[in-house]
Structure 1
């Protein structure tokens, strides 16, 4: 079989109703599959106000709003209508992208109908409880995730550091890489726009520390603002530029009263915003890859990031940026201060970053996942079945 014989049923908890790095990657793989002649059917919650048009055929699944985070929805079951549509589509592989109730039902359907299953890992769900005062639940969440992923034929992670973590957590014997690509027409130093910076009240010679992403606490907003407080106490000259929106925006603005909040940006406008920064500060530990880090590197920026999954696979400490122990406020401030005070250090790290991202083209990246689909199907045809990961 080649790619034209693929019939992929993709299950997602958020395919297009709120824009994020994970669902943009999913839409890109669907678009790539369709261009290569494969058949794809997507099953996900929908809303009347989607963030963007979906790639491929999207079937709406029953869902309810997430308590306290109503912009997100939980697909809580596989309805009879969805089951009939799935049976009619007759996939030869099932791809699940979220360990939610619909993902569990999709796994059960695939096992019952003897279809191979690939799961993609997009975020570190087990770390989320710590941001809501429930850190004691992390082992419980990790156990639920382990049960989910062990039922799959293979799982794919967006970075080698995340893949290694999944192996250490005993999630699966078969852990592959489906990394992320970059659009070099959008993310390039050529998008830097001094006039746009000036329109925001930022002088040409002031170093800009950037944050890019959805404004939610699990992105490390507390660590970011605490490190900026340190720079202010040290009287380090800088400005903060925040690109993104979300439910924690009001809190973040109160913590960064001198920050410039540019709101949600996309496409060329996002490229302009990122390229107009002087460094990216990404303190989050929840990402499995860190699309924003890759985008900043493509724009020629150094990155100061938490030493965590995702960032460790992208940032070379002391070369393309700095990696700092998660939560180490003083060390984050030291790294930011060094780049604020040394334009040549910023330029050197930015040049190294640009060179590093050359290998991240979307077609090459997505073909790796297609190869995984085909390999798993061949293994099933030879009689292979999912088996448990190593036990402690």
Structure 2
């Protein structure tokens, strides 16, 4: 049985888009007969103190200690600690493949360990983290740290035996850096369809508690409150929308750094009661909120991050037979077609957002067909049970190279 060690920034039991993608990958690989484990670096901030943790039938190893030192030195120590932790684990559980996931600190630590162990390295990029730092306002484009992070990742990609990105935009960017296209495959964001059945019935008790009537046109956003998500534009769109849809309301489920700013923006609206904030809710309760929403809106702002990276939430919404409206940025265009599987509107433009939402509500007669096309699209292109086989194909080629004595040479990865 092939053993695959996934090297991660953080993991379950923490909840994030990152950990949900990881869970889906590992579960799909288990179903295919692979033996999988995960190992996290120093930035995993779980509450437990155990060096090994089992969550949802998955085993995760933890790297002990804390990074310290000035910028640059601290990151180097992180990678060294992760490499040492991987090598220590390999003494008892020797992996056949080391599969590292961005950020580059994970890739750097994994590359050191893979080189020492003589094990093939697969590196997967979910986002360029220097761009993510700009998007969440913890970094600045063009800064020294921005360029150093980008350079480190480029070196890891060159050294890895095979590379995956989650979308075409990220792959194209790597090719522009001079990376051989033949070693870069695409593993799109996906959905574990076994978790999604028929949509839940409307939760009338929750609706009553939130004062949402049965005929209220309800737009919803469920996710993290980061600036690049553009929810401020969605809030600003509400007065425009309510001129055409007087009873329309907006339900915002989540929390984050923009919470106070977005609440302040909603309070300044002519009709502030049009926007409902729930705060952070337990993951087990999220489905209740989905049951109330007519249209899931994803108004991401235009940036390198949103043009290059595909989000997970719209796919989950389509899998639940929900209508999706999203800003027309590259990451969304890879997931849906306007009028067929969802609706697109100009980014950074509240009036355009409102016009698109009005169009959505005027097209109610087409919703059933759009829902079915959305589900069919997810099943055809974003089902983890099927897509995970692409990993297996690459693993087999890498191991065949090793068994032939060809070393850890790169290969042509399936796009």
Q: TM-score, normalised by structure 2?
A: 0.78
1:115 Cα deviation after fit: 1.7
Counterpart secondary structure, 1:136: coil
CA–CA separation in structure 2 for the residues paired with 1:230 and 1:146: 45
CA contact (8 A) 1:64 1:74 kept: no
Q: Write the mapping of 1:88-103 to structure 2, written as runs, cut at 5 A.
A: 88-103=92-107
1:64 Cα deviation after fit: 5.1
TM-aligned CA distance change 1:355 to 1:28, over 3 Å: closer
TM-aligned CA distance change 1:348 to 1:41, over 3 Å: closer
In the alignment, what sits opposite 1:372?
394
Q: Write the mapping of 1:239-258 to structure 2, written as runs, cut at 5 A.
A: 239-257=249-267, 258=273
| Of 335, 351, 354, the match for 1:314 | 335
For residues 254-305 of structure 1, give each alpha carbon's deviation from its aligned partner in whole angstroms, at most 9, with x where no partner exists: 33343223333435x4334224211111123646332210111123222222
TM-aligned CA distance change 1:89 to 1:182, over 3 Å: closer
Quick check: 212-221 or 178-187, which moved more? 178-187
Counterpart secondary structure, 1:276: coil
CA contact (8 A) 2:127 2:170 kept: no
| Of 139, 142, 149, the match for 1:136 | 142
CA contact (8 A) 1:243 1:264 kept: yes
In the alignment, what sits opposite 1:279?
295
TM-aligned CA distance change 1:11 to 1:207, over 3 Å: same
For residues 191-241 of structure 1, give each alpha carbon's deviation from its aligned partner in whole angstroms, at most 9, with x where no partner exists: 444553333211122211111212222433334334346435777541111
For residues 135-171 of structure 1, give each alpha carbon's deviation from its aligned partner in whole angstroms, at most 9, with x where no partner exists: 3345654433322222212222233454445444545
Quick check: 98-107 or 160-169, which moved more? 160-169
In the alignment, what sits opposite 2:14?
18
In the alignment, what sits opposite 1:215?
225
Instruction: Name stretches of at least 5 consecutive residues in structure 1 with no aligned partner.
Output: 67-72
In the alignment, what sits opposite 2:270?
none
In the alignment, what sits opposite 1:146?
154
Counterpart secondary structure, 2:338: coil
TM-aligned CA distance change 1:118 to 1:336, over 3 Å: same
Q: Write the mapping of 1:132-211 to structure 2, written as runs, cut at 5 A.
A: 132=137, 134-137=140-143, 141-173=149-181, 174-179=183-188, 180-183=190-193, 185-186=195-196, 188-211=198-221
For residues 49-100 of structure 1, give each alpha carbon's deviation from its aligned partner in whole angstroms, at most 9, with x where no partner exists: 699936432221146599xxxxxx9992443455322333222211111224
In the alignment, what sits opposite 1:120?
124
Q: Report how many residues are paired.
A: 378
RMSD between aligned alpha carbons?
3.5
TM-aligned CA distance change 1:52 to 1:120, over 3 Å: same
Instruction: Name stretches of at least 5 consecutive residues in structure 2 with no aligned partner.
Output: 69-74, 268-272
CA contact (8 A) 2:319 2:375 kept: yes
| Of 105, 110, 113, the match for 1:109 | 113
1:123 Cα deviation after fit: 2.6
CA contact (8 A) 2:196 2:319 kept: no
CA–CA separation in structure 2 for the residues paired with 1:199 and 1:339: 26
Q: TM-score, normalised by structure 1?
A: 0.82
Quick check: 122-131 or 296-305, which moved more? 122-131
| Of 277, 281, 293, the match for 1:264 | 281
CA contact (8 A) 2:296 2:317 kept: yes
TM-aligned CA distance change 1:140 to 1:85, over 3 Å: closer
CA contact (8 A) 1:63 1:75 kept: no
| Of 43, 58, 61, the match for 2:60 | 58
TM-aligned CA distance change 1:102 to 1:122, over 3 Å: closer
CA contact (8 A) 2:311 2:331 kept: yes
In the alignment, what sits opposite 1:70?
none
